[in-house]
A and B are shown apart, each in its own frame.
Chain A
Amino acid sequence: MLRNSKDRFGTVTIVLHWTIAVLILGLLLTGLVMRRTEIDPALQFSLYQWHKSFGFIALGLAALQALRWLVERSPAPPPTLGPMEQMASRAAHLSLIALALLVPLAGWAVASASTLAIPSFFFNLIVIPHLPLPRSETSEAFFALAHATLAYATLALVAVHAAAAIYHHFLGRDEVLVRMLRSGSAPRPDSTISAPEKDDTLVERKRR
């Protein structure tokens, strides 16, 4: 139950997935708000610091999830997925994992390269050192652009990812969304009709 099985996500994967999802959405939102010029400057300063602290958490959890993805088995895609869907979802998941690492790293680079040299005081507890990058206006501008571009790409990909999950749940009526919600093997009541069909495909897949 904690670990992934051959066709189910374990609780650890599920909890990490949704924690990172909430963090990424929150970070995208604060990122958008804090860049607005008309915002109260004191609030803006605080938002930047919160954004940095939560960004480091997101980076840590994404690194953990990426490591687990490398060592832990990944459940096989639901048998209802066609080869094109499997390829597309694999590409999307790989990109999401890469972006979940690259976006916070680029953000860390912004803080490190900024001429403002504001320390990253993680939740006012410990100072996280800056990355060894040249501190200059051009360097800061480069990483700021990279951070923003990658973040917008993440937003777009998250939208596609969520749309696909919703599509599979309500139109495809398969297990794609449900198996990221609970690790148990309880099938959806309305999916029992096509259950025999599914079992066949599973058996076939195993034989291959």
Chain B
Amino acid sequence: MTSLRRPMGAALPRALVALFALAGTPALGAKAPALVDAAGTYRIASSSTVRFSVGQVGGSGGIAGSFTKFSGTFRIDGDDIGESSVEFTLYPESVNSTEGRIEDFLRSSAVFDAVNYRTVTFRSTAVSQTGPDTATIEGTLTVRGKSRKERFAVALTDWNRRSISFTIRGSVRRSPYGMTVGTPIYSNVVEFNMNIRGQKR
């Protein structure tokens, strides 16, 4: 996979076309083999990273961490990107931060309540392309038993025949999920920054 770290050269545009080109566009029809390659169902690889940060009053600092245990699948519809979908589950007990006290607090009933709510899930409801290599995913996020519509911005970073990588960013307000603790010292908005790698099934 290390060979994928190449500059935005010739290979990437081909991947972009493969992902997001609308089927039937004559000019892009020539790339048909790539399109066929990118379409499919992917399993989210454990080498993906799911990072989050919460700002604090006064600017600098805040809470930052990541989740190490998660799973999911997504399907890229080669004919219509809008028909693509994703299902994602993460396990808040796997939270990692700068120190144990913060991790314990995040797992506790004050935040994720990981004993009673073992998973956080996201199920897409709509995918829309926003640029040649970007898209927006809308879906239902379920945290602590509460489900709400959230939106994430997706950007393609890498692609080959066997795997595909995206960065996914999104801002989630935590108060609707019953996670108001620490506000207003700590922001109500949690910034997510994920590098999701899909392994083709």
Contact = CB atoms under 8 A, between A and B. Distances in A.
Same assembly: yes
A119 B110 contact: no
B142 interface: no
A119 B61 contact: yes
Interface residues on A, range: 10 to 19
Interface stretch (A37-45, A63-71, A73-81, A176-184): A37-45
A49 interface: yes
B192 to A, nearest CB: 22
Interface residues of B, number: 16
B57 interface: yes
Interface in A10-46: 40-42, 44-46
A42 B185 contact: no
A127 B61 contact: no
Interface in A127-160: 127
B58 A45 contact: no
Given A116-B102, A119-B56, A121-B184, A41 B61 contact: no
B173 to A, nearest CB: 17
Interface in B179-193: 181-182, 184-185
B101 interface: yes
A124 interface: yes
A45 B102 contact: no
Nearest to B56: A119
Given A42-B110, A119-B56, A124 B184 contact: yes
Given A118-B185, A121-B184, A45 B110 contact: yes
A47 B180 CA distance: 15
Contacts of A127: 57-58
A53 to B, nearest CB: 11
Given A127-B57, A127-B58, A119 B109 contact: no
A115 B58 contact: no
A178 to B, nearest CB: 44
A116 B109 contact: no
Interface of B: 56-58, 61, 98-99, 101-102, 105, 108-110, 181-182, 184-185
Query: 3 closest A-B pairs (Cβ-Cβ)?
Result: A42-B110, A41-B110, A41-B108
Interface of A: 40-42, 44-46, 49, 115-119, 121, 124, 127
